[in-house]
Amino acid sequence: MRAPHDQHFLSDEDAVQKISDFCDVKGVKVLEIGPGRGVLTRALLDRGAEVIAIELDGTLTSYLKSVFQKEIESGRFTLIHGDAIKCELPAFEKIVANLPYSASSKITFRLLELGFSEAVLMYQKEFAERMIALPGTSNCGRLSIMVQTYAKVMPLLELSPESFSPPPEVDSMVVKITPKKELTYPIKDRSFYAKLVRELFSHRRKTLKKALKISSHILGEDNVKEIIYKSPDEILKKRPEELTLKEFSDLSNAVE
């Protein structure tokens, strides 16, 4: 089977086994996004998981239906033909997936909103490195702050292009994401927090005070005035990438 839509299928059997063993899936409803040819699906089923797979490509869904016909009939495998960014998802507990790299950001944010107990996800290495970049470092961005606000991220495995068929032009990385049961720095309004982080990093080269003023039409003029009034000058002089998780939390919570 040829790779449609510029897909790159995981073909390294050793990597498949490692990824499947990174979390306990026995008796657990596991969401898999982008199952491709089903090699990871098979490994998860062999470990006792009940797999719910979301596949966008119609050719692949037909192929997967034929390969996993018995598992579908027994109820251990549910296959949904749809877009993981927007399709309705049934209940699940954990996620194990080789995410489509072009949609990694949108899918990750959606999964964090939906909630899960544990996720083992493969990303383009550069994307994963930005996800785990520490607040206050130059590689830190919106992705770093939003993910680390709500979850712990641990790098697990790096894969070269040769682990895929056909080989992509980039290296890949597998990470484990574990949502925090209690936030280290509480957020009063998660919607406003997300908007604030997004707007500040869209002006990441500006000082915080300038970035806030530029974004006042989106964040609300009164909200921006309140944040500036309640924030110390040393914070307002920083750039967004220099802020800590606590400082982002304080900025957002300054708005009544």
Residues 40 and 158 in one domain: yes
Contact 245, 213 (CB under 8 A): no
Mean pLDDT of the 177-195 span: 96
| Beta carbons within 8 Å of 51's beta carbon, 6+ residues apart | 30, 32, 41, 44, 45, 71, 76, 77, 78
Domain co-membership, 139 together with 202: no
- Alpha helices by DSSP H, 35-80: 39-46, 58-67, 69-74
Q: Residue 236 domain-assigned?
A: yes
Establish whether 98 is an annotated binding residue.
yes
Q: What distance in Å separates the CA atoms of residue 226 and residue 256, rounded to the nearest whole number?
A: 8
Does 10 carry a binding-site annotation? yes
Looking at residue 209, which CATH number applies to its domain? 1.10.8
**Residue 172 φ then ψ, to 5°:** -125, 160
| Overall number of domains in the chain | 2
Cα separation, 238 vs 92, whole angstroms: 41
Q: Could you tell me if 136 and 89 lie in one domain?
A: yes
Give the number of other Cβ atoms within 10 Å of residue 63's Cβ. 17
Residues 157 and 30 in one domain: yes
The reply, when asked if residue 34 is annotated as ligand binding, is yes
193 versus 138: which is more confidently predicted? Answer: 193
Whether residues 77 and 200 fall in one domain:
no
| Residues of the chain above pLDDT 90, percent | 93
Among residues 35, 246, 241, the alpha carbon closest in space to that of 143 is found at 241
Q: What is the mean pLDDT of residues 157-182?
A: 96
Mean local confidence (pLDDT), 178-206: 96
Tens of pLDDT, residue by residue over 81-109, are: 999 999 999 999 999 999 999 999 999 99
Q: Work out the average pLDDT over 115-130.
A: 96
**Coil, strand, or helix at residue 99?**
coil
The CA distance from 70 to 223, in Å, is 57
Last residue of a domain, one of 159, 179, 199: 179
* Whether pLDDT at 192 is above 90: yes
Using pLDDT thresholds of 50, 70 and 90, give the confidence band for residue 1.
Answer: very low
Domain holding 54, by residue range, is: 4-179
Neighbours of 250 (CB within 10 A): 17
Query: Does position 162 have pLDDT exceeding 50, yes or no?
Result: yes
48 is in an annotated binding site: no
**Are 47 and 114 contained in the same domain?**
yes
Distance, CA of 104 to CA of 127 (rounded, Å): 8
* 210-226 pLDDT per residue, tens: 999 999 999 999 999 99
Count of residues in the chain: 256
- State the pTM of this model: 0.91
